[in-house]
Structures are given as C-alpha cells and as structure tokens.
Structure 1
C-alpha cells in the first residue's frame, strides 16, 4: 500500500461528499441542534456543582447519536456506489492497490463522521465553563468516541463492498448499527422479562405500638424478571461502551455527576441479583446501595462490547477487501464492472 495512493482515494471520496450543498446544510442543522441541547443541558445540570461535566457528557452522547444516524448513509455506498457509477473499475486498472482503495475509503468515511465532532468542539469547550470536568474523563470519552466513529465507518464500508446494490448496503448498514444500538436494548428487555424467578423480600415488622422490631424479619415472596442473566447483551451497545469506559465522578452522596455515570450505574445495576431484597429500618445489613456502591461492586464490560464491535466491523471490512480484490474470480449477478 502507498500513503500517497491512500491519500488520493480519500481526497477524491471527500471531494464527492463535500461538493454537495446538502452536506453543509446537514452540519449547520447539527450545530443549531447542539446549540439548543447545550442550553437545555445547562438547565438540567444547574443544580449540581459539576455543571460542565454533565453538559459535556450530553454533548458527547449527542455526537455519537448523530454519527450512528448519519454515517451509514455516507459510508454504506462507498464501494458499490463507485462500481454502480462505473468509476471503480477505472481506479482498479491504475497503480492503486485494493488496500489503497479500501483504506482510503475508510479514512474518508471516518473523516465525515469526525466532522460532527469538529462541529461539536466549540460546544464541548463551552460546557467546560460550567466547571467540574475531569481531564481524564475528557480524554477517555473522546478516545472511545473516535473508536466508535471508526467502527461505524468500517461497518458501512465493509457492507458496501459485500453487497452489490448501494440501496441495500445502506439499509443493511442501518440494520447492523440499529442492532447494536436498539437491538441490544430490545434483547435485554425481552430476555429479562422472559426469564423469571421467585424472589424473597425481608422487612422489619412493627409492634402494636408502631415501633420497629429489630429482632425479627417479615418475609414475602414474588416473581421477578432476571435481568441479571442477560445484562451482558448491553455490552456491545455503543452508548454503553462509551459510558462504561469513561471514569465516573460522584457527588459526596455517591451519585454520578454526568450522563456517563448515570448510564453506567443503570447498566451495572442490572448485574445485581434480585432474588433477595432486604429493607432494614434498624440500619443493620440494609440492602440500599448508592450508585457508587453499585459501580464499585460490579464488573466493567466495555472492553468485551468494544471487542465484539471490532470483530463485526473487521470481518465485514476484510470480506469487502476480498470481494474488491482484482482480478475478481466471481462477482454477484448484474454487477457492473466498467
């Protein structure tokens, strides 16, 4: 592979994207959207001491949301779009290798996704004015966001090389991304509700005078869904990966100060078994735990989820690489090559 050739392919791909007025309109709409969201985020977190941390986390999650919504459209026809327009064959007969084409188009897809992050940088800077932001949180969250942009871009480029028709490859890219974002939530909810077990609740009884009896327990049994058996399904969700990998800052009472920590505590709570619940008004062995206690007593899953995403994206990208290699032994029926 040649860095010059890769740069040429990426530049040609970006030129085709950027010469469209609709691209700039899209970025403008995104900026206006971020302006409104940033203002609302300041209102939401105005009660805390770490306003900047909360606003920052919302803006980063919105950037990720826009990436998973828009990037499939921009990357899902990167290869078959050129093949359909009869421009891919003209490139393949030059000194440019298959690797140059694949990596160049991947870099262009990453750049289009990264454009949303560039537009969001002023709003991220404004969020820091609220105070309470941890430099380590800023660094890790942006790194994970960049990795997610690469993963989504690789999925789109990979499917564009494996599927002959641009419309189908874009639709399939949306389905794969939706499977990671929405499908994991549906599988988690349905899986947890489908498996149920009997749980026992322990409560302190009251005597005839209305005082708590700290020497005995009242028990009751009931059925509960077992989300603790299917929590791992959420590991591959991009928003869960982002939240779980980002260090969490807590208030003095043990509550997270930003959206990252709130998502993380919700996912980590699903790991806890619901089979025994204790409500102890005597303060001995009580079952209530703060979000900080929950996070500290459970296991992270972001590296597993990110690994699953990388395997999916890498497999699709490798398959597209093999399909794009010339001379081609077999192509799908109806594929245009010149």
Structure 2
C-alpha cells in the first residue's frame, strides 16, 4: 500500500466516524423528514397559488420556474445547515473530551480536518438526495439544457463544501461552540445579503461625468418615418464594472449564472430577435426568474460600456431600429462569472480547512485560552 492510498484510507475511517457521530442521532432523521415536508409544502403551495391566480397557462409559467423554487430552496436551507454541522465539530468534540482520543492516533491534523470536512459535506448533500424527486421533476420541466441544469446542482453541492470548510475553520478558532456557530451564521448571512448590500452602497461612488456622442431618433408623425441624429453631451457614467467582483461570491449569483446561462428567453432576445418577434401571435419566450438574476449580474459587470460613444450606424445599422444589439452587449458576461464566485467560496473553505488542520496538529505548540487537551 503506497502512501497516498494509506493517507486517504485513514481519511475514510475518519469520515465514517464523523458520519456515525453526526447522523446516527434521531434528530438528524427527523431533520431530513421535516426538510422534505417543507420542500413539499413550498412546491405544491406555489403550484396551487399559480393555478388560482395565474394567466392563460399557469402551469407552464410555474413549471418554468420550478427549478429555481426547488434548488433555490434546497441551496438556501443547505447553506444555513451545512456550516452549522462543522461550526461545532472541533470545539464541541474538545468540550466533550472525545477529540483527544482521535488526536492520539497516528492521524495527522490535516487528515483529521479533511475527514471532518468531507463527513459534514456528505451529510449536507443528504439534503439534495432527500429532495431528489422534486429535483428530477424540476430538471424535466426547466427550459434549460439538462447539462446546465445538472451543473446548477453540482455548483450548489460545491457551495455546501465551501461553507462546511468555513464553519470548520471557525470551530477551530473559537473555544466555545456557541461562539463559532454564531460567527459562522453571520458569515453566511454576510455572503448572502451583505455582499449585495455593499455593492449597492458602493455604486454611487463609481459615478463619473464624461462627454460622449449620443443618438436621438426623431419620428415624423405624418409619414411614419424618422431620422437619427448625433449630439455631444455630458452624461453620467456608472462604472459598476469596477466593483462587480464584490458581488460575484454571492451564492445566489453563482447558482444563477451557472444554471441559467442558456435560457431560451435570452436567446430569443439576442441577434435572432427581430421586429416580427414582437408582433407574432406566439411571441418570443419569456426569461425565467433565474435568468433575470443572471442578467442583472452581467449588467453589473458590463458597467459603463452601454454609455460610451454611440453612432447612428452602430446602433441602428441599415434596418428598422432594433434593440438586439444593446441587449447582446448587456448579457455578454452571462455564464462567465459563476466560476470566479465559486473559486472565491472554495478559497474561503480552503482557508478554513488550513486553519483547522493547523489547530489540530499534535503536539500543539500553544493552546488558545480556555482550550484543554483532554
């Protein structure tokens, strides 16, 4: 047996110990049952609400957003539960005097931290497994290609891994479980709510004034013709492209940008959408709510590009005025931001894992105040 295999076999034993310790309790099975019931209530409750208050085809409108309803709910609750499972895994075991028994074995601090991390991650992914019937239903109904739908599920699972690592790091830093649990939840809320709030507050600071060429289309009501003119004027430019990276680690942004990058409603509003699309009886498909969120992220990353110099030829070309060109510019970053946000989250989880591995080394050089060996 080589060293690599032996290393991971030890980690596998630690994962098994962690799973038996965390999931053998009755409250874990009860939690999974309550979770499945809550997802069921939300799914069928939203279906009932859509059918009673919807338009001509309420089920179609509802089913297109079922993917967001199910996986969004699973992801949100999972991001709350996942870090909680690791936020007390080290200081809680130390408080119960069970950690020193494992530290007395030949397992290294990195092996012990990795085993705790992967054990908590596997337990967290049970939330995805429990909601599998609704996820299969959502993937079958969503307008996205199956590859991007499955990518969204994988991204949510990897976010669980990152948040488990964050909780593990705080569990190693704080000596009291209640303190690490509270700080972990605050960190989760900061990534979910704080990052969009910071982006919104910093947006006014990115506004500047510049002189640019603007177009103006003047219509003639007598013969329904028009003429485009170009004028130079002072315009306010909002350079949100300077701060888009603050918003990218937000888990909702990561999920939306990964899953909804090929929404058919967006494709219909690209270069292939013409004036006839607005007047046809069938019309172009609407975007899903998840795709709208992905477009918002792309708009932030595009920033001031839409306010730069614009000539009549560049905007209208030789055809009837079309809105496809500006829409294409606004959505050009859709599907190109999620991996940066995911890497940022995984980096935070990796930092937490590194801190935990360092704190679990034996012998310990210096123990934090209030921490005991056994």
Q: Which interval holds the TM-score relative to the shorter structure?
A: 0.7 to 0.9
Within the candidate set 125, 132, 144, 1:114 is matched to 125
1:26 maps to which residue?
A: 31
Q: Distance in 2 between the 1:126 and 1:218 partners?
A: 53
The size of the alignment, in residue pairs, is 338
Matched, 1:230 2:260: no
Larger CA deviation: 308-317 vs 10-19: 10-19
1:312 maps to which residue?
A: 348
1:167 maps to which residue?
A: 178
Evaluate the alpha carbon distance shift between residue 217 and residue 122 of structure 1 in structure 2; reply closer, same or farther with a 3 A threshold.
Answer: same
Larger CA deviation: 297-306 vs 28-37: 297-306
**Structure 2 length normalisation: TM-score?**
0.77
Larger CA deviation: 109-118 vs 220-229: 220-229
Matched, 1:301 2:337: yes
Q: Distance in 2 between the 1:298 and 1:159 partners?
A: 34
SS in 2 for 1:204: strand
SS in 2 for 1:216: strand
1:35 maps to which residue?
A: 40
Within the candidate set 100, 108, 114, 1:103 is matched to 114
Q: Distance in 2 between the 1:131 and 1:275 partners?
A: 35
Matched, 1:330 2:366: yes
Evaluate the alpha carbon distance shift between residue 21 and residue 48 of structure 1 in structure 2; reply closer, same or farther with a 3 A threshold.
Answer: closer
Evaluate the alpha carbon distance shift between residue 284 and residue 222 of structure 1 in structure 2; reply closer, same or farther with a 3 A threshold.
Answer: same
Shift of 1:241: 1.4
Evaluate the alpha carbon distance shift between residue 93 and residue 260 of structure 1 in structure 2; reply closer, same or farther with a 3 A threshold.
Answer: same
**Structure 1 length normalisation: TM-score?**
0.85
Q: Distance in 2 between the 1:239 and 1:152 partners?
A: 14
Shift of 1:51: 6.0
Q: State the Cα RMSD in Å.
A: 3.4
2:67 maps to which residue?
A: 56
| Structure 2 residues not aligned, in runs of 5+ | 1-5, 270-284
Evaluate the alpha carbon distance shift between residue 40 and residue 249 of structure 1 in structure 2; reply closer, same or farther with a 3 A threshold.
Answer: farther
What per-residue deviation string (whole Å, max 9, x for no partner) do you get for residues 314-334 of structure 1? 122112101111011111012
Q: Distance in 2 between the 1:89 and 1:3 partners?
A: 21
SS in 2 for 1:197: strand
Asked whether the equivalents of residues 67 and 139 of structure 2 are also in contact (C-alpha less than 8 Å), the reply is: yes
1:70-85 to structure 2, matched below 5 A, reads 70-85=81-96
Evaluate the alpha carbon distance shift between residue 334 and residue 62 of structure 1 in structure 2; reply closer, same or farther with a 3 A threshold.
Answer: same
1:253 maps to which residue?
A: 268
1:263 maps to which residue?
A: 293
| Structure 1 residues not aligned, in runs of 5+ | none
Asked whether the equivalents of residues 103 and 362 of structure 2 are also in contact (C-alpha less than 8 Å), the reply is: yes
SS in 1 for 2:208: strand
Shift of 1:105: 0.7
Asked whether the equivalents of residues 88 and 181 of structure 2 are also in contact (C-alpha less than 8 Å), the reply is: yes
